[in-house]
Structure formats: structure tokens, C-alpha cells
């Protein structure tokens, strides 16, 4: 089983969108038994809060099912051992993550858009209100991530 965790600042916009978009892709392909997927935050600001309402509306608009009871949590050092890959939405998330998980000896930490071959951050709707661009970024990168994972013959991703 491949274990993936998506990470953003507060775990109420981009990372839960990525979690549920990716889960929908694996469901559409009948691969639920091959993956375990979560999302988390690098900060403590939103812990316990549910997905941001505009993010929920965006997921609903694209018929992406999501867990209505999902609440924000902070990533932990033990998550490094629990997950095969840790995917950050932006470079600032990478910097914050180093305070929680200072070393990455197994090369598990990556930027989301790198899977789509794009050298930039996932658009942050918190500042722009543009959840559609975020959705498109995440969907594109998620499709490439899934393709990459399916090319692997073992449970380890990297």
C-alpha cells in the first residue's frame, strides 16, 4: 500500500482539496486498496477547523466527494515514518516542514507541482479567492502523481 500525505499551511484549503481529489482519482480507477491518503498542516493555526467553505464549494462543484468531518491537523515527526511520500503545496510549506521534520534521508518530501513537471507552487486560494485555479493545479499534479505511482512495482514510492 502506498501512503501519501498532502501538506499546506493550515490544512483547510489546498491540502484537503488535494487529499480528496487524489482519493477521487484512485476511486475512479478502482485502486482504493492500493493507497492510503491524508492531509495535514505545517502550522497550528487551524487545528480542529473543518475544510474552508469555499474549498468545499469548489469540491462540490466538481462532484469530488469529501469527508465532511475532516478537520485540520498538524503534521508530526512520526508522519515521516508512516508515509511514503510527503507532498507540500508550496516552498514556504517546505521551510516550515523542516522545523517539524528536519531531515529527509529517504527523499520523501516533494512539491506538488513537480509531479506535473512545473516549477512553481500550487496557487493559494486563501489570498486570491480563486479556488478554481487551485483545483486545476491540484488535479493536474494529482493525475501525474497517480501515473507515477502506478509505474512503481513495489509499495515504496521513492
Residues catalogued as catalytic: 8, 14, 124
Q: CA torsion angle for 129, 63, 91, 153 (degrees, to 10)? A: -170
Spatial strand order of the sheet with 35-41 comes to 35-41, 2-8, 85-88, 109-111
Q: Provide the grid cell at 158.
A: 521513492
First to last CA, the chain: 13
Q: Which of 35, 42, 36 is nearest to 72 (CA)?
A: 42
Amino acid at each position: 500500500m502506498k501512503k501519501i500525505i498532502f501538506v499546506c499551511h493550515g490544512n483547510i484549503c489546498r491540502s484537503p482539496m488535494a487529499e480528496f481529489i487524489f482519493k477521487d482519482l484512485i476511486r475512479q480507477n478502482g485502486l482504493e486498496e492500493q493507497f492510503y491518503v491524508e492531509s495535514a498542516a505545517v502550522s497550528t493555526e487551524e487545528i480542529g477547523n473543518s475544510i474552508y467553505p469555499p474549498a468545499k464549494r469548489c469540491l462540490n462543484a466538481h462532484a469530488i466527494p469529501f469527508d465532511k468531518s475532516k478537520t485540520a491537523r498538524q503534521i508530526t515527526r512520526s508522519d515521516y515514518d508512516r508515509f511514503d511520500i510527503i507532498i507540500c503545496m508550496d516552498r514556504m510549506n517546505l521551510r516550515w516542514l523542516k522545523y517539524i521534520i528536519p531531515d529527509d534521508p529517504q527523499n520523501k518530501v516533494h512539491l506538488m507541482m513537480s509531479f506535473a513537471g512545473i516549477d512553481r507552487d500550487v496557487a493559494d486560494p486563501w489570498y486570491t479567492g480563486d479556488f478554481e485555479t487551485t483545483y486545476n493545479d491540484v488535479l493536474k499534479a494529482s493525475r501525474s502523481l497517480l501515473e507515477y505511482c502506478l509505474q512503481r512495482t513495489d509499495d515504496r514510492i521513492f
